[in-house]
Structure 1
Amino acid sequence: WAENPLVYCDGHGCSVAVHQACYGIVQVPTGPWFCRKCESQERAARVRCELCPHKDGALKRTDNGGWAHVVCALYIPEVQFANVSTMEPIVLQSVPHDRYNKTCYICDEQGRESKAATGACMTCNKHGCRQAFHVTCAQFAGLLCEEEGNGADNVQYCGYCKYHFSKLK
């Protein structure tokens, strides 16, 4: 995609690679580029996503001074971006508390019970299914997809549990 190039972080030991439009990079710099986490120089131990248990990846600041993955923000419907062009800060105030009370079935299945209740979970997009999971857990499992939206929303970000994702094919 020439119009949406991959941009690689030049931070020491950082492996973040993002599409320009997917991370809200208005202008790709000609010199070094640093993701927000590296740019902040905040101690890595203090940087964690407020929506999932994973610390690595493409993170941006939240409106309350924390951090969240851009992918988590895109797939949890109540999350918003204060500035849509730059995709920051990530606004979490409309996320209902019950999303934070759900348990990730993928964490449970993989023996990470201590992480299962961390952050907020999305639910399977299949009507009637109540399986809950972290966005990044679904991403690692290959369970996220983009579907054609309706009206002004040209893309709908969807995630399915393993059972219903297998039925899509």
Structure 2
Amino acid sequence: MPISMKEMVGGCCVCSDERGWAENPLVYCDGQGCNVAVHQACYGIVQVPTGPWFCRKCESQERAARVKCELCQQKDGALKRTDSGGWCHVVCALFIPEAWFANVQTMEPIVLKNLPQERFNKICYVCEEKDRASKASTGACMQCNKNGCKQYFHVTCAQAQGLLCEEAGNYGDNVKYCGYCDYHYKKLVS
């Protein structure tokens, strides 16, 4: 498999799995200083290239300082263009229910126009706990999936803490993308 090998921590930037499979390999960005690794299916790569591969951010050659996720304000990770010309993490689009992909196969552009303003008025409890108060009120947050829990957090903050999961949906193959606050996640897995 013609995929460049790089030191990778945490595996795929979208699903966090470190394993790759013949039918869904891990693909590593060849952009200078970029550490994006994604599964073919997690990033909407229709054909795995035989030569170098570049994530959309590196491919765009847009000044790195200008590229950040509209939902979590982070600059690193597997980003795609939004319908308004900005950027969004694929993982943020998967876990924020009102975000969607205009083309499901290529997973781009990411459509954010249906996001309610309330998502942008929440405080990320993870940022607050990590002394990142200035970031806590930026971007859009998801809510703990435990009924009645009022904890809010950025998708990428929850991902970094290992608090995201996929649960079987109601209609067979459908997957429900869920995130829990630290307290309810520990209760879930114990």
Q: Decide: shared fold, TM above 0.5.
A: yes
**Identical aligned residues as a percent:** 78
C-alpha distance after superposition, 1:51-85 (max 9, x if no partner): 00311000000000000000000000110100000
Q: Counterparts of 2:145 and 2:173 in 1: how far apart (Å)?
A: 17
Task: State how 1:116-135 maps to structure 2 within 5 Å.
Answer: 116-135=136-155
Of residues 13, 35, 57 in structure 2, which corresponds to 1:37? 57
Counterpart check, 1:142 vs 2:165: no
Q: Which runs of 4+ in 1 moved over 2 A?
A: none
Q: Counterparts of 1:69 and 1:153 in 2: how far apart (Å)?
A: 23
Of residues 77, 85, 104 in structure 2, which corresponds to 1:57? 77
Counterpart check, 1:71 vs 2:91: yes
1:151 aligns with 171
Runs of at least 5 residues in structure 2 that lack an aligned partner in the other structure: 1-20
Q: Which amino acid aligns with 1:122?
A: M
Q: Counterparts of 1:117 and 1:2 in 2: how far apart (Å)?
A: 41
Q: Counterparts of 2:62 and 2:130 in 1: how far apart (Å)?
A: 30
Q: Counterparts of 1:24 and 1:44 in 2: how far apart (Å)?
A: 22
Equivalent residue of 1:33, what SS?
Answer: coil
Q: Counterparts of 1:106 and 1:53 in 2: how far apart (Å)?
A: 14
**TM-score, normalisation: structure 1:** 0.98
C-alpha distance after superposition, 1:85-127 (max 9, x if no partner): 0000000001100000111000001100000011100000001
Task: State how 1:89-128 maps to structure 2 within 5 Å.
Answer: 89-128=109-148
